[in-house]
């Protein structure tokens, strides 16, 4: 039985990049990113013989990320990811596929006596995400998303009618707290001059609205309703993938203290937790690229 080299890639992970745009001497703009690049292609020689002829140093990848960020503002992280991915596949012949992942950490201006402060910020909720892949045929695909978008509603959620056996102790309920930290990714049908920020804002707002407004019999039902609504709202999106950890809240037993607890005091458990994952897919659209960095 023979042994061969299987699929492989390499790159520079988590290049931390903060860009301060000082075009306005007083009102600065802040961009805070974490960028990861990985390349694949004609790289067998370095694995099998230690021949690095076709290897672009990962330090060079880091330098390119910083240099591109210096050349122009990073207004749209999807556009920045596309620019980087296309560069690596076009500038270096041994590279046939480049994947770029970007996390953008949101900052909000601190409120001052005369309005938002021009150059002081506080970290905001939720992390914006973008990923891009450039393949050997020049085709590109883009995925956007959000992470750590923590949401909770104090009613409008139930969980009953589930399977039971001798190990089941969970009691059914018609009313419970439902909380989760949303991780969502949505794939664009085309990569081009899209309004990336507008699309992101609409998708994020839709996720929040549907979570809040949809009566839920299970977190799975909420997940699909959220993904379905994002696709219904934006025809330029092909699929939505969601991961929703169930942030359990349990009523505290106050009877030892002579008190009742009609859904007032809860214990917020951090682990273990249920993890619900699923996809809403628009039929008739081309499949995702195998190397698309979800």
* DSSP assignment letter at 157: B
CA distance 100 to 65: 10
Name the residue with tokens 């039929």: 283
Look up residue 106 and give its two tokens.
């949101």
Which residues, other chains included, contact 232 with Cβ-Cβ below 8 Å and sequence gap of 6+?
A: none
153 has catalytic annotation: no
Angle between helices 196-213 and 77-91 (to 10 degrees): 130
CA distance 10 to 294: 17
89 has catalytic annotation: no
Three-state SS letters, 177-202: CEEEEEEEEEEECCCCCCCHHHHHHH
Catalytic residue among 103, 188, 247, 248: 248
Name the residue with tokens 């917020």: 268
Catalytic residue among 46, 58, 189, 197: 58
Which residues, other chains included, contact 216 with Cβ-Cβ below 8 Å and sequence gap of 6+?
A: 156, 157, 158, 178, 222
Q: Give the residue among 37, 57, 20 at the shortest CA–CA distance from 98.
A: 37
12 has catalytic annotation: yes
CA distance 127 to 154: 24
Catalytic residue among 12, 103, 188, 247: 12
Q: 4-13 as b/e, with b when 16 or more CB fall inside 10 Å? A: eeeeeebbbe
User: Which residues are designated catalytic?
Assistant: 12, 58, 248
């Amino acid at each position: 039985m023979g042994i061969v080299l299987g699929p492989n890639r390499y790159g520079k992970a988590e290049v931390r990049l903060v860009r301060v745009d000082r075009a306005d001497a007083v009102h600065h703009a802040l961009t805070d990113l974490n960028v990861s690049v990985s390349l694949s292609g004609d790289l067998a020689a370095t694995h099998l013989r230690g021949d690095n002829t076709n290897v672009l140093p990962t330090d060079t990848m880091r330098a390119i990320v910083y240099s591109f960020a210096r050349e122009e503002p990073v207004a749209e992280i999807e556009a920045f990811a596309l620019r980087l991915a296309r560069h690596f596949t076009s500038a270096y012949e041994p590279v046939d596929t480049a994947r770029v992942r970007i996390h953008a950490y949101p900052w909000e201006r601190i409120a001052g006596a005369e309005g938002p402060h021009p150059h002081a910020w506080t970290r905001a909720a939720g992390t914006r995400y973008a990923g891009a892949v450039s393949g050997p045929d020049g085709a590109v695909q883009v995925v956007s998303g959000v992470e750590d978008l923590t949401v909770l509603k104090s009613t409008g959620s139930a969980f009953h009618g589930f399977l039971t056996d001798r190990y089941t102790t969970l009691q059914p309920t018609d009313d419970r707290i439902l909380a989760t930290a949303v991780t969502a990714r949505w794939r664009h049908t085309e990569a081009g001059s899209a309004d990336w920020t507008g699309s992101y804002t609409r998708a994020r707002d839709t996720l929040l609205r549907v979570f809040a407004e949809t009566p839920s019999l299970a977190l799975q039902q909420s997940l699909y309703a959220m993904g379905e609504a994002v696709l219904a709202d934006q025809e330029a999106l092909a699929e939505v993938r969601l991961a929703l950890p169930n942030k359990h809240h349990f009523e505290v037993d106050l009877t030892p203290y002579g008190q009742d607890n009609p859904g007032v005091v809860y214990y917020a458990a951090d682990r273990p937790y249920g993890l619900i994952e699923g996809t809403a897919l628009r039929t008739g659209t081309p499949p995702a690229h195998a190397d698309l960095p979800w």
